[in-house]
Amino acid sequence: MDLNLKKHFSDLLFLPLGGANEIGMNLNLYHLDGKWLMVDCGVGFASDVPGIDMMTPDISFIKANKKNLLGIILTHIHEDHLGAVQYLWRELEVPIYASNLAANFLRTKLEEFKLDKQVPIRLIDSSKDLQIGPFAVEFLGLTHSVPEMKALIIKTPKGNILHTGDWKFDPNPVIGEVSEKEKIREWGDQGKFLAVICDSTNAISEGHSRSEGDLHKSLKYLIEGRKGIVGVTTFASNIARIYTIASIAKEVGRKIVLAGFSLHRIYEVAKKSGYDFSGFEFISDREIKFHDKKDLLVICTGCQGEPNAAARKIATGHHPSIKFTVGDLMIFSSKIIPGNEKKIFGLFDALAKKQIDVMTEKDHFVHVSGHPSQDELKEMYALARPKIAIPVHGEFLHTKTHAELARDCGVPKTIQIENGLAVKLQEDFQASCGIVGFVKHGYFGVDGKQLLNLDGEVIRERRKLQSAGIVTVSLALDDNLELMAKPRVQCIGSYDLKSDRDAEHAINQEIQIFLRHKAKELGLHKASKGLSFLKKKKKKLKDTISTAEIEKALRGKLLKIFEDLMGKRPALEVTVHLI
Ligand SMILES: [Zn+2]
Ligand SMILES: [Zn+2]
């Protein structure tokens, strides 16, 4: 049933528009007293959509209610939490609340979209509550693969919610603060959490996630003593990992080269935000030629096999200055994100073909996750002791396993949520908490600087072009519907007409027959008998039939021919010029 906003005007609602039962595109809404608060506004990877690499959630629901949207709080700098702001902000025009690091990062992205002057960004202050409409928000630091990851304690008269964001309990996160477990325990001991809305990414992984600090030892062991150049590709936004790799480079006496736009950007943002990289020796890729390969370590973008990223360029020999050869090493210090396997394995192959050694999380200890495994989730529930657990940030299997684990931890109620479903939360949780309605949700594809509805016309056409190509036919006709020149038929990615004279002939025949019939139907044949008569007919032709009608009718005929030739339907455009 559609969400009835009037009926639930004074209810505390949780409504994710993205990130529930999927990894990526986190966009969560909280509602109370007719007001909405958004937490995170992220992008996700798109797969199998021609020309589209990124997607954002469909925000039409909250856009329609934007006068009641109070603001957007960003938990941390990862793209799946803030990457959609530059695409969607114009639709919402509300203030954004972020940590210093997230604010600096966001500004660089907004500059690209000429939005930096327009978007009001307010820095969050962890020492005091942020009062925003009916919500009072307290910020709580949790460790993750980036510093300044802020969980939210959303306090309302209807109950308090712990919205965890992405987290793990890492005693040695390399940079940034450790998790504020005591604060969670204090709240938990007093039974003050109505609900915990929590990260499910690694809910199916047993044990405890490994520490960023432990990774240092392993990566150093793998890099130390290598004769050739060493590359490490990781998520650009993983600041802790960049710091870990840079420390290792220093310890083993290698200079560091950053390769890839987003790495340079995050490096500048981190420095600006007070993270100290001054003890490391960075050189530009143009300086590589002055150094021995064994003295270099390249940190590069492209760990998900992205076609234009540095790792791919290095693997294919297309990078202008970084050249890897036999015996060099590329370490994938990253997770293989589901959906990206094809691109990533293609990259492994390209490297292997050049005899470049490849190490991945599948065969070496080269990556630690920034998300909690089962033991950490258990610890979280033991600390927070909520009445309700709502797992998010995971695919269905993750959220289902997470919900079972929460039940095993003694959480009385668990709710498995999906995008677009609104859950009512209240203290009398056993009786009346649950899903109370749904709203429109879906995805938009990021296509350069425009957003495209993935179920819309443009994508439909693009898929069609991808699967069967296009045929364009253009005709120059005189006023008697007679051809002024040979029809111009162009097949692009559809049919090899140049090698099939019979087909070409059949098409020309079909066009001529069609035009003759049409002319006859319109009584245009007599027109050629005299100039004065023709002028009269000219008017008549325009009045009788439009070029659009001719185009449409001929298109139908020609489609049939191409369907017979190809066994499927290409896109087909007919253009008629009346001369
Ligand atoms: Zn994250
Ligand atoms: Zn995330």
* Nearest ligand for residue 149 CA: 1
122 pLDDT higher than 80: yes
How much is the pLDDT for 541? Answer: 64
User: What is the pLDDT averaged over residues 374-384?
Assistant: 98
How much is the pLDDT for 540? Answer: 59
User: How far is residue 126's CA from residue 138's CA, in Å, rounded to a whole number?
Assistant: 7
* Nearest ligand for residue 148 CA: 1
Higher model confidence: residue 538 or residue 100? 100
321 pLDDT higher than 60: yes
Residue 252, burial from CB neighbour count under 10 angstroms (0-12, 13-18, 19+): middle
pTM (2 decimals)? 0.85
- Measured at the alpha carbon of residue 142, what is the angle toward residues 11 and 163, in degrees to the nearest 5? 10
How much is the pLDDT for 427? Answer: 86
* Nearest ligand for residue 201 CA: 2
Segment (H or E) for 374: helix 374-384
d(CA 81, ligand 2 centre) in Å: 6
Residues 392/163, Cβ–Cβ less than 8 Å: no
* Nearest ligand for residue 28 CA: 2
pLDDT band at 547 (very low <50, low <70, confident <90, very high): confident
d(CA 166, ligand 1 centre) in Å: 5
529 pLDDT higher than 60: no
d(CA 373, ligand 1 centre) in Å: 15
d(CA 112, ligand 2 centre) in Å: 23
How much is the pLDDT for 424? Answer: 95
527 pLDDT higher than 50: no
Q: What is the mean pLDDT of the chain?
A: 92
User: What is the pLDDT averaged over residues 434-446?
Assistant: 94
Residues, Cβ < 5 Å to ion ligand 1? 78, 166
Q: Name which of 2-11, 195-204, 475-484 the model is least confident about.
A: 475-484
User: How far is residue 559's CA from residue 353's CA, in Å, rounded to a whole number?
Assistant: 44
* Nearest ligand for residue 24 CA: 2
d(CA 168, ligand 1 centre) in Å: 10
530 pLDDT higher than 60: no
pLDDT band at 542 (very low <50, low <70, confident <90, very high): low
% pLDDT > 70, the chain: 96
d(CA 24, ligand 2 centre) in Å: 6
How much is the pLDDT for 428? Answer: 81
178 pLDDT higher than 60: yes
d(CA 393, ligand 2 centre) in Å: 7
d(CA 146, ligand 2 centre) in Å: 11
Residue ranges of E strands in 172-269: 195-199, 230-233, 255-259
d(CA 78, ligand 1 centre) in Å: 5
User: How far is residue 82's CA from residue 399's CA, in Å, rounded to a whole number?
Assistant: 22
Q: Name which of 135-144, 262-271, 413-422, 451-460 the model is least confident about.
A: 451-460
135 pLDDT higher than 90: yes
